[in-house]
Structure formats: C-alpha cells, structure tokens
Amino acid sequence: MERVDGVVGVVASVREVAEALVVRGALPAELDGALVWSGKFGVSGVCLGPDGAEWYRGPRPAALAPADRPAGATMARPVFDGEVWHTAMSHPDLGYAEHVTLGDDGEVLRAEPFPLDGAPRMRAVGVTDRFVVVFDSAPYYSRAADLVGLRDPYSGPATGPARVGLLAYGRPDWFELGDGEVLSLVNVYEDLGRVVVDAIWAPGVLRRHVLDLATGGVRRVDLPAMDVGTVDERFAGRHHRFVFGTAGTAIVRHDVALGCTWRREVGVTPVQPVFVPRGDAEGDGWVVAVAGDEVLVLDAADLAGPPVAVVRLPFAVAASRQAAWVPRR
C-alpha cells in the first residue's frame, strides 16, 4: 500500500476511472504525485505531474480488515513515524482502548490495550520521540442510536473535561485540558521537558496546550479560529512554526512565532489543504487545496497572490473530505 498521510493507500494500478483535466497556469515541478481523498465507497483524487492533471477514482484498499474493527468502535486517523503507522481504537464501555500499530500493507502488527473508561470517540493520535499521544474527549454517547444505526451515536455536549494522554509502556499519563472536544491533531512535539500539543477544538479553534512533564501543569494558548489544520509534514513530531488550514471559506496560514495569520477567501468551504515542499526551509512550498470544483495551487508564502495553477474538476468535492498528498515514487 502506498504511503498516504492517514488516508488509505492508492496506486495507479487500482484506478477504475481516469479523465484528463483542464489546467490553467503552470503546475510547479514539485507537484509530481497525487492529491487523494477517501470516501465511503472508494478513493478519488487528482494525479498531477509534468504531463498535466488527471482525475481518477478507484476502490478503497482496506486499511483494517472488518474483523479488526468491531461494530461501534472508533479509530483515530493513523499517523506515520517513518517506519510504521500508529492509531488508537476504542469501543464503548469496555474499560480500555488499544494502541494499534500497522504496516504499510494495513496488516496489524501490534494491538496493545491501555485503560480508558466510558465511551470516548477516538479522533486523533500523535507520535513524538518518546510517546504515543492519545485523547480522551467524549461527547455524549447514545447506545440506542448506535444499535439502531440511524444517526451518529456521538452527539450533544461532552460528558466531562477533555484529557490528553502520553502513552508509554502500556499506561498513559493523563493531563486535563478543560471542557470541549478535540476534533483533530495538528502537531505534537517534545521541547525541553515539555510536550506541546496543537489541536483543532470544536467548534473550530486552533488551540495549543503545553504539558510540563515535571510538574504535571498545563498552559493553554488560544490561537486563531481554524476548522482544520496541518503542518509541513517534514516537521511532524518536531517543533513547527507554520500551520496551514481552513477557516470558514478561507484558506489560512498562521505563523505561531509571530502570531500573524494570512487568509485567502475562496467563496466556498475548502477541503483540508496539503503542503508540498519546494525548498529545505519550513513553509517553503505550495499549498494545494480543493475549493468546490477546483484544485488551487498557491504559493505558501503568498496565499493572497494569484494561484500558480488551477485544475478544474468534473464536480465539486465535499468539504468534509480529508485530503492527503502522495508523492510519485
């Protein structure tokens, strides 16, 4: 399975439908790969390269066999540590969750339980040099809704304060973060006896928590409103400066060091953007985002400037999709 950041793998051989697309402008040389997103029934995306752009759609390879995901279980979006994939999976009222390690082919290498009460919804997981980072952020859970299957069983306000756990040797050390629900993790890294956690919280705010490993204290910093966010993937698990994401109908870039935010309005709610590097420095590259029925290629250093290239899609893509960039091998 091709490496895709938290989205199922896709290779050219699985394509079922392919269609050449119109490109306005010039695609940068660094954009040689595929922008993909996973839907309920398969994988869709745009293959970019020196020959232009091509739309494709194909079946979704199973990242986990159905038997490995019991009914009612929730699983965090997997993250890659350079060697293997990590995720966390929970099931209501079992009293524990599992740290699951996967190979590139989706095979489960290890499943290590750790204690966790209640019915938490596993949305995010992160990896640092020493820890697997998990979240206990539980909205109200309805067993009846889960059994009937007519609506999302997780709804309503959180049933308690959110926590982040640093998992090592099978048991997490928990830090209380306050009320609210963690929607997704942007990045996490260790810094001189502290762990810095940047995450998107409901209803849409980028928030930083600094965990002091010596005292157990937590310092909170509210950053700009953001619905989804990502970093230059070369800095995942490391100290980062820039966060790229969306806020409403805008694509945004936030400089954590300077506290500055740049916005580009696109008129529709965009899909989560991806960052594709150009040079060695953090943030030197391209922001690629789907907005309606277009793929926008923007200079990360000049979001407000004109797009470097625009690819027209055969139809609009739902903003709820999570996208990933897969470089060509």
Q: Does residue 80 form part of some domain?
A: yes
In a domain, 51, yes or no: no
Please state, in angstroms and rounded to a whole number, the distance separating the CA atoms of residues 44 and 179: 36
pLDDT, tens digit, 9 for 90 and up, residues 40-70: 666 788 999 998 999 987 765 544 444 455 6
Within-domain flag for 50: no
Residue 143 has pLDDT above 90, yes or no: no
CA 301 to chain centre: 22
Q: Answer whether residue 93 shows pLDDT above 60.
A: yes
What pLDDT is recorded for position 177?
93
Residue 91 inside a domain? The answer is yes
Tokens linked to 183: 């929607």
**CB distance 276 to 31 below 8 Å:** yes
Whether 106 maps to a domain, the answer reads yes
Number of independent structural domains in the chain: 1
Q: Please determine, for residue 144, whether its predicted confidence score (pLDDT) is greater than 60.
A: no
Domain annotation covers residue 30: no
d(CA 35, CA 182): 26
Give the domain range for residue 163: 76-191
Whether the pLDDT of residue 269 is over 80: the answer is: yes
Q: For 110, phi and psi rounded to 5 degrees?
A: -150, 150
Contact 235, 187 (CB under 8 A): yes
Whether the per-residue pLDDT at 112 is higher than 60: the answer is: yes
Contact (CB, 8 A) for 33 and 326:
yes
CB 303 within 8 A of CB 253: yes
Each residue's pLDDT tens digit, 189-242: 999 999 999 999 988 899 999 999 999 999 999 999 999 999 999 999 999 999
- pLDDT tens per residue, range 166-181: 998 778 899 999 888 8
Provide the pLDDT for residue 56. 82
- Of 96-105, 127-136, 158-167, 208-217, the poorest mean pLDDT is in 158-167
pLDDT at 44: 83
Average pLDDT, the chain: 84
**How does 168-188 read in b/e, with b if 16+ C-beta sit within 10 Å?**
eeeebeebebeebbbbbbbbb
Residue 251 lies in a domain: no
pLDDT per residue as tens digits for the range 4-30: 444 334 333 344 556 899 999 999 999
Which stretch of DSSP H or E encloses residue 143?
Answer: helix 143-148
More confident residue, 61 or 258: 258
Contact 196, 208 (CB under 8 A): yes
Does some domain include residue 82?
yes
- Which pLDDT does position 70 carry in this prediction? 60
The H or E element containing residue 25 is: strand 23-25
pLDDT of residue 294: 96
User: Is the pLDDT confidence value at 289 over 90?
Assistant: yes
Residue 56 host element (H or E): strand 52-58
59: cis peptide before it, omega within 30°? no
Model pTM score: 0.86
| pLDDT attached to residue 175 | 96
pLDDT greater than 90 at residue 152: no
pLDDT of residue 150 exceeding 60, the answer is no
